[in-house]
Amino acid sequence: MHGEMVPGTSLTLRGIGQEFGTSMTPAREAARRLVAEGALTMSVSGRISTPELANDRIEELASLRGLLETELAVRALPRAHLALIERLTTINSTVAEAIRRGDAVAYIRTNLEFHRTLYLRAQAPAMLALVETVWLQLGPTMRKLYGRMRQGRPPDSHRLILAALRNREEAALRVAVRTDVTKGLRLLMT
């Protein structure tokens, strides 16, 4: 799943099938679906590999995250009651834990869970599906990102998001989500 593979890894249908104990038919379908979503790359000859994202593509995907996730957060805002905020706070502490441990995969996973939990409240499944597509495309690259932010200290943008939710401040929420989503990815574009 998210962030477990290094960009540029090449996959084979028979390999995937064997890995999951099935024939190559389901592997083929899964692979083609992921290719359609942009999570995998297919060469003209059909060879499959995890994509290496160019900088302008990363910028594009970061913009998409900014656009879509602010909208989702704003839609979730009026429905975000206390129980949700507490759950988000809990998830956020596990995010901090993963960062402290230096566990890249756990960090990516829990960080996305934080966002997904919030966005689920937006009751906008199509929008959420598009965001997950973007996440999938960024997956292999997020891995690289983590190597550069090993300061061991969690970013405080999640705290800002939680504060904005608590205070019902739409404008602050927009800013907090946009910076949280954008900041990490920008520094990946050297």
Partner DNA sequence: CATGCGGGATTGTGATCACAACGGTGGTGC
Partner DNA sequence: GCACCACCGTTGTGATCACAATCCCGCATG
Q: Residue 30 CB, nearest distance to its own copies (Å)? A: 9
In Å, what is the CA distance from 71 to each residue of 16, 29, 45, 65, 74? 36, 32, 39, 10, 5
Side by side, which strands form the sheet with 48-49? 10-11, 48-49, 41-42
Whole-angstrom distance, CA of residue 137 vs CA of residue 174: 23
**9 and 49 Cβ atoms separated by less than 8 Å:** yes
| C-beta of 47 vs 148, nearer to DNA | 47
Rg of the chain in Å (alpha carbons): 17
Among 1, 6, 19, 29, interactor with DNA by CB under 7 A: 29
Among DNA, its own copies, none, what binds residue 14 when CB lies within 5 to 8 Å by partner kind? Answer: DNA
Whole-angstrom distance, CA of residue 116 vs CA of residue 110: 10
Q: Residue 185 CB, nearest distance to its own copies (Å)? A: 13
Among 5, 64, 96, 105, interactor with its own copies by CB under 8 A: 64
**160 and 97 Cβ atoms separated by less than 8 Å:** no
3 state DSSP class of 11: strand
> Footprint of DNA on residues 150-189 (CB under 7 A)?
none
Among 14, 79, 100, 148, interactor with DNA by CB under 7 A: 14
- Does residue 29 touch its own copies according to CB under 8 A? yes
Whole-angstrom distance, CA of residue 21 vs CA of residue 124: 35
> Footprint of DNA on residues 44-73 (CB under 7 A)?
44-48
- Does residue 120 touch its own copies according to CB under 8 A? no
Among 5, 7, 9, 24, interactor with DNA by CB under 7 A: 24
- Does residue 67 touch its own copies according to CB under 8 A? yes
Tokens encoding 106? 């756990």
- Does residue 182 touch its own copies according to CB under 8 A? no
| C-beta of 1 vs 156, nearer to its own copies | 1
Tokens encoding 126? 């199509």
Binding footprint of its own copies on the chain (CB under 8 A): 28-29, 32-33, 36-38, 56-57, 60-61, 63-64, 67-68, 71, 123-127, 129-130, 133-134, 137
